[in-house]
Amino acid sequence: MFEVNSKMNDERVEEIGENHVGTSAKTPLRDDAFAISNEEKINKIQESVKDILETLGMDLTDDSLQGTPKRVAKAFVNELFMGLDPANKPTASTFENNYNYGEMLVEKNIIVYSTCEHHLLPIIGRAHVAYISDGKVIGLSKMNRIVEYYAKRPQVQERLTMQVVQAMQEALGTKDVACVIDAKHLCVNSRGIKDIESSTVTAEFGGKFKNKETKEEFLGYLTMNTGFKNI
């Protein structure tokens, strides 16, 4: 029975191929995802990386490679995938909109460093996040932190875009939030089709941003030249 199920699973993986597949906006985690400590995870991943490198024929007694399994394990747990741990979720401090600012606020060009969950290769790009206050405002740096938190996990870009919007909506108590992400996927750029020019754009519009005029206003801000190269 195990062999039959394994064969069916392999066939399903081949059928999916390069397609992006997402079951929901929720990151797929097992119920026991945090049953062991980060240090235990690092130790287990270290052994797995060691096994991979040895299987590939690498000589782990070489000075350059001796520390690689531990370095990779620590990077996985503490950096690249730190967004899996709810303990790292940023506190989204909000304040009363005492100055009654009623227009949209746009935070452009938030750097995105994520990892494709299909090949564990980098996703690199920029996120643009906007909201219209319904009585609350959020610290600008918190918008960057929210993007970073959800990016630092195995991801698909569609899910990441939705998660950023949902987190902002929850923090601000309003549906009027939007996010556009433009990113390069190294699983496309460095392998497979090896297209180094293409990028992927995803968008999620909530509340008032679903209205044509509001959406166009937001997208218009994204075309403004705000590089500030001389600053």
Is pLDDT above 60 for 1? no
Using an 8 Å Cβ cutoff, are 210 and 165 in contact? no
By CB neighbour count within 10 A (0-12 exposed, 13-18 middle, 19+ buried), where does 222 fall?
middle
Using an 8 Å Cβ cutoff, are 23 and 53 in contact? no
Does domain 93-222 correspond to CATH entry 3.30.1130.10? yes
Question: Which residue numbers are catalytic?
Answer: 116-119, 157, 185, 187
Helix, strand or coil for residue 105? Answer: strand
Distance of CA 120 to the CA centre of its chain: 12
Distance CA 134, CA 112 (A): 27
Q: According to the model, what pLDDT value does residue 92 have?
A: 83
Phi, psi of 11, rounded to the nearest 5 degrees: -65, -40
Look up the pTM and report it.
Answer: 0.88
Which of 126, 170, 175, 177 has its CA nearest to residue 147?
126
Residue with tokens 């991801």: 155
193-213 pLDDT, tens digit per residue, is 888 889 999 999 999 999 999
pLDDT band, residue 2 (cuts 50/70/90): very low
Mean residue pLDDT across the chain: 91
The CATH class of 35-80 is mainly alpha
Q: Where are the domains of the chain?
A: 35-80, 93-222
Half-sphere exposure of 78 (CA within 13 A, CB side): 10
Pick the residue with more confidence: 148 or 5?
A: 148
User: How large is the average pLDDT for residues 83-95?
Assistant: 94
139-174 pLDDT, tens digit per residue, is 999 999 999 999 999 999 999 999 999 999 999 999
Hey, which residues does 113 pair with through a beta bridge? 124
Half-sphere exposure of 57 (CA within 13 A, CB side): 0
pLDDT band, residue 4 (cuts 50/70/90): very low
- Tell me whether domains 35-80 and 93-222 share a fold: no
